[in-house]
Structure 1
Amino acid sequence: MIDHYDWAGGREAMLRFGPATGPVVVAALPLFEEANRTRAFVVTILRLLAARGIAGALPDLPGQGESLIPTHKTSILKMQDAFGFACDKFDREGRNCYAIGLRSGALLDALALAVGRWHLAPQDGPQLFRELTRIKQVELGGRPLGDSWYFDNALPEEAGDPPVEIAGTPISTDLLTDLQVKTPFDEPGIPRRVVRLDTDPNPADRKVDAAPLWRRAEPGNDPALTALLADDIATWVRTCES
C-alpha cells in the first residue's frame, strides 16, 4: 500500500508491504542513476518478504523517487535524516526496524534507530565518488580532472551551492564533497550482514552467483536472485528476533 512519513524537511511517500505487526525491513535504494535500475528489484524482494511473513517498506528519500525536493537540493545528511524518520514511524508502533541498503544505499541508514542492517554489495562514498568522476571525465572527452573538478565544472547559479551535472543529473558540490568521507554504518553490538556477488573480492558474510543489475543499461530484474535474497533476509531477521 502507499503510505507516507514526515521528517524535518516535509512529507515523503512510502510503499508498505506485508503484515501490520512484527519486525519491518526498511529499504534504501542506491543514490542517483542506479535507483532507476534497481527499484523494481528491491520492490520484488519486499513483496517476497511479505509472502514470508516479514513486513517491508520503501520510503522515497529527499531527491529520490517522487520526492518534490530536486536532486541537486538534497544532501547525504538530509537523506540519512529522512530515512531515520521513516524508521521512527515503525519504532513508534513498537516494531523492530531492520535497514537494508543496496550499493550506495548502505550509506543512508547511519542515523536510523535500526536494530540491524543488511547490505547488498555495499559501496562506500569514495567508491561512488570515483565512479562519478570517471563518468564526468568521459563526458569531458577524457581529459584529466583535478581534485576540485566538480567546483570547476559547476553549473552557473545565482546563489547557494552550485550543482554539477553528471550523466544528466545535477548533483550539489557539497554532496560530492561529503561522499569522500562516508562509509556504511558498522558499529560493534549492532547486527550487520553483508552479501556480495561472487565476483566481488571484498569480504562478505555470503557471496552469491549473479549478474549486477546496476550495471545494465536498462532497468531489469532477476527472479532467482530476488527469491534467494528474500530467503536470506527473512532468515537473518528471524535469527535477530530470536
Structure 2
Amino acid sequence: MLRLGPDHGPTILALPALFEEANRSRTLLVAMLRRLADRGIAGAIPDLPGQGDSLLPTRQARLSMWRDAVAAAATTLAGPVHLVALRGAALAATAIDPASCWYLSPLTGEEQVRELRRLRIAGAGDDYAGNIIADAMIDDLAHAPLPDGARTRVVRLAGDPRLADNHLPGAPPWRAAEPVAAPALADALAQDIAAWIAG
C-alpha cells in the first residue's frame, strides 16, 4: 500500500479506478494525494486483489475480495478515515464506514459492466482490453450498489452532464491513450477534497 503524508490526523483511503482505467488515472490520483499531503492530509492507495501490484491474477479476483481488502486496509490507517474513490472503485467500499466519502465520476455496477463490455475484444469472451475477467466478477459488478453514505460528495468533470455536487474543468484521464499528469486538475481535486474534509 502506497502511503503519503503524516502519520496522524485525517487520512484518505484512495481507491483507483478499476481495470484498464487504473493505469490511465493513477498518475492523477498520486499527484492529487501529494498535494493533499502538503496540506497535512495523509493518503493511502491499496492494491486490490488482481489489480495494481497484486500477485493474484485478475481472472481470480472477486468483488468480495476487494471489499475485504478495503476493509483490511482501513483498519491500518490513522483516523478519521475518509474514502476517495475514482469511477467504479466505490463499488469495493461497502464494508467500511468512513468519516466521509468523496467520489470522482462514480459508476454504478451496471455502468461499470457496460464500460467493460465496450472494451471487450471481439471473439475473446473474458478479455476486456487485456484484462481477463471472470464471468463471476462481471456478475458481481453488475449487481453491485453504489454506496451512498450520510456524508457523500460527488464530483464530475465539466463534460459530464450527470448530477454532481461540483463539476470541475478537465479531461477525463481514464479516456486518455496514455497516463497524463494533469496538474491543474490534480490541484482542483485536492482543493475540493481538502475543503470537503474540513467542512
- TM-score w.r.t. the length of structure 2 is 0.95
Tell me if 1:210 matches 2:194. no
- Map of 1:167 onto structure 2: 129
Tell me if 1:127 matches 2:127. no
Report the residue type matching 2:94 in the other structure: A
TM superposition shift of 1:68: 1.1
TM superposition shift of 1:19: 1.0
Tell me if 1:81 matches 2:79. no
Tell me if 1:22 matches 2:9. yes
Pick from 86, 99, 110 the counterpart of residue 115 of structure 1: 99
- Map of 1:226 onto structure 2: 186
Tell me if 1:139 matches 2:139. no
RMSD of aligned Cα (Å): 1.3
TM superposition shift of 1:125: 1.2
**Partners of 1:81 and 1:209 in 2: how far apart?**
34
- Map of 2:27 onto structure 1: 40
What is the aligned length?
199
**Partners of 2:105 and 2:131 in 1: how far apart?**
23
Tell me if 1:64 matches 2:26. no
SS, match of residue 207 in structure 1: strand
Structure 1 stretches of 4+ moved >2 Å: none
Report the residue type matching 1:192 in the other structure: T
Pick from 15, 18, 25 the counterpart of residue 31 of structure 1: 18
**Partners of 1:98 and 1:44 in 2: how far apart?**
18
**Partners of 2:101 and 2:146 in 1: how far apart?**
10
TM superposition shift of 1:183: 2.6
Which whole-Å deviations, capped at 9, do the CAs of 1:50-92 have from their partners, x for residues lacking one? 00111111111111111111111111111111011101112xx
TM superposition shift of 1:98: 0.5
- TM-score w.r.t. the length of structure 1 is 0.79
- Map of 1:185 onto structure 2: 147
Contact 1:85 1:112 in 2 (8 A): no
- Map of 1:96 onto structure 2: 80
SS, match of residue 78 in structure 1: helix
**Partners of 1:110 and 1:202 in 2: how far apart?**
23
Contact 1:84 1:113 in 2 (8 A): no
- Map of 1:148 onto structure 2: none
Report the residue type matching 2:122 in the other structure: E
Q: Which has the higher contact order (CA 8 A, sep 6+)?
A: 2
Report the residue type matching 1:238 in the other structure: A
TM superposition shift of 1:182: 1.4
TM superposition shift of 1:168: 1.8
